[in-house]
Amino acid sequence: MRHLVLAALGVLMAVGPAEADERPNFVVMVADDLGYGDLGSYGHPDLRTPHLDRLAEEGMRFTDAYAAAPVCSPARTGLLTGRIPSRVGIYDWIPPGSDVHLPVAETTVAELLRDAGYQTVYLGKWHLNGGLGLEDQPQPDDHGFDHWFATTGFAMPTHKDPFNLVRNGEEMGPMEGYACQLLADEAGSWLTGLRDRDRPFLMVVGFHEPHEAIASPPELTDSYPATQNRNEAEYFANVTNLDLAVGRLMAALDGLGLAENTVVLFTSDNGPEMTNRHPQAQRSYGSAGNLRGKKLQLWEGGIRVPFIVRWPGHTTPASVSAAPVSGIDLLPTLAELAAVAIPETVALDGASFSPALTGGEMERKTSLFWHDYKAWGGPRVVLREGKFKLAAWWNGPEIVRTDSSTMRPGDLELIATAKLVRFELYDLEIDPGEQHDVSADHPEVVERLKTEMLEIHDQIQADVHPWKESWLRRW
């Protein structure tokens, strides 16, 4: 722990005395189902994302960044806690009315920063309990957020005129506008009217776009006439509308003179949705670029995501980093930049990527690890160390996912007893599309990574969360 605190203090000495009003602010933006290849700065040939492209030009773009899981609730769990989601007991997305929730015993990045004097704000998709306002469920304020304006899960009925936003426990009812722009409005209102100017802040914005059910401004949809159909045009317009909301938030920071002392991070919660996977996915035309797989899969296309960080005076403009980073690295990174000591009782899987922001080398005690017992069409457990990725299959049944399927009776037993029975190795440096198993060429790497993988997998199986199966019937 001592080395972490000292490193954090060293970072702050570079920007000035470690006084509360001089510590950096943090704005963390998370898109929903945005693919690795969905931004202009990540190579999309047609999508217009000028504000996010500008963010990349002003900061650092990561090429090998990951979500903590290939589906929403576990990914958001990892982002806030710095832990592998399966360790926390969040194995799949949480349906409305479920008893499953992010346990209050978990320490979040918001709690750490709030207790250190930061103001904390959450805006947008929460998806870490069965319902905002349920008395027997922890709410965003129970996890460290002073102000929140959120939905339990998706914007309903669509991104246009959502009726399910809740502000600090008060249901807002039908609202006019598109979800991303309503979040930008709330962010601007808080920054100008509610913020204590003498204290730093953490703002997390969970955009709903481009998750289905997609709805986009007609004028933006009409601006994409060269697409293969209207549904694809709507998807492109949806991403562009998200980009416009990001631009408004960046303009608010600039206008208030906050940009120079604010670390801005933009990412996605998982890979892009599969077109026509379920009836509402007709407009899901997201791109995973040159990667294999999409959302709900542990191939790179399901977990590798856009990841852009701007920190004026620290990140070199238009720089690119190939450092493997993950959503689980957010908590230790922000804690280090804010000079906040992480209690020794908090067991983290993530590591600070602060050194990477200035061109240095990260120090990671354990390899990046993913566990998804329902990952389909591929491995159920994967681990990355350096350029190598070990993928493992299990002896359990293939689980066909639909739009309404989440955990079912018997799933917890499967998680606790499944055995890994097949292993493949990929060299992501030369084969990011995961087309060639190189395990025969590197048996020593396979054995080393397999040992580490089995150790973590055994830990997860020994501590499966005993959720009541009664909640499984609510959806």
Query: Quick check: is 72 catalytic?
Result: yes
Q: Are 77 and 108 in contact (CB under 8 A)?
A: no
Q: Are 87 and 465 in contact (CB under 8 A)?
A: no
Q: Is 228 exposed, middle or buried (0-12, 13-18, 19+ CB in 10 A)?
A: exposed
Query: Quick check: is 51 catalytic?
Result: no
Give the Å distances, CA to CA, from 383 to 63, 234, 440.
17, 36, 17
Tokens of 281: 């996915």
Distance CA 29, CA 52 (A): 11
Quick one: CA dihedral 99, 103, 109, 114, positive or negative? positive
User: What count of other Cβ atoms lies within 10 Å of the Cβ of residue 181?
Assistant: 16
Distance CA 269, CA 107 (A): 20
354-387 burial: b if 16+ Cβ within 10 Å, else e: bbbbeeeebebeebbbbbbbbbbebbbbbbbbeb
| CB half-sphere exposure, 8, CA atoms < 13 A | 22
- Strands 319-321 and 388-394 turn out to be unpaired
Tokens of 444: 């020593």
Q: Which of 51, 127, 371, 457 is catalytic?
A: 127
3-class secondary structure, 102 = coil
126-138 burial: b if 16+ Cβ within 10 Å, else e: bbbbbbbebeebb
User: What count of other Cβ atoms lies within 10 Å of the Cβ of residue 218?
Assistant: 10
Q: Which of 72, 208, 371, 457 is catalytic?
A: 72
Distance CA 116, CA 65 (A): 28
> Which of the residues are catalytic?
72, 127
